[in-house]
Amino acid sequence: MRLKFNGTCVKVIELYEKAFKTKAENVMRFSEVNDSDYSYAGDKNDIKDMIFSANITIDTKNITLSDDINNLNSTAPKASPNLSIFFSTEEDLKACYEIISDGAEILRPLGSNGRRLVANLKDKFGITWEFMVY
């Protein structure tokens, strides 16, 4: 799965590393790849610190993150998937929810569905998350 962002990928990585207690790997900025690897009509200095590609693992899912340099003026990610994350403990879910919910649109507040703790929200970068405990 690849999630593309509009120049905010560095901030996305920082948030997701903190919330999901993980570390991005294979992080490459546009300044580190050959110009022939991408097409951009603007000043390449404007995008040099943006993310060409990075990998992050969340709940055993390997997700590729990148900035979509040809979609920088858009206010939403290129695609807005709904990612379901299963936590082994309520404490882990609550800790992640507290971080991700800052600036998010809460679609379903943190609470019980009668059997287990659940929450649904769209983070400040436009990605929709569904959290639940196994």
Domains identified in the chain, total number: 2
**What is the token pair recorded at 62?**
């390997």
pTM (global) more than 0.75:
yes
Three-state SS at 3: strand
* Sheet architecture: strand order including 105-112: 82-87, 128-133, 117-122, 105-112
Report the residue count for the chain.
134
Q: What is the mean pLDDT of residues 103-121?
A: 92
Domain end residue (candidates: 53, 74, 95) = 74
Q: Is there a single domain that holds both residue 34 and residue 89?
A: no
Give the range of the structural domain holding residue 28, as residue numbers without chain letter. Answer: 1-74
pLDDT score of 112 more than 70: yes
Q: Is there a single domain that holds both residue 36 and residue 1?
A: yes
pLDDT score of 27 more than 70: yes
pLDDT score of 75 more than 80: no
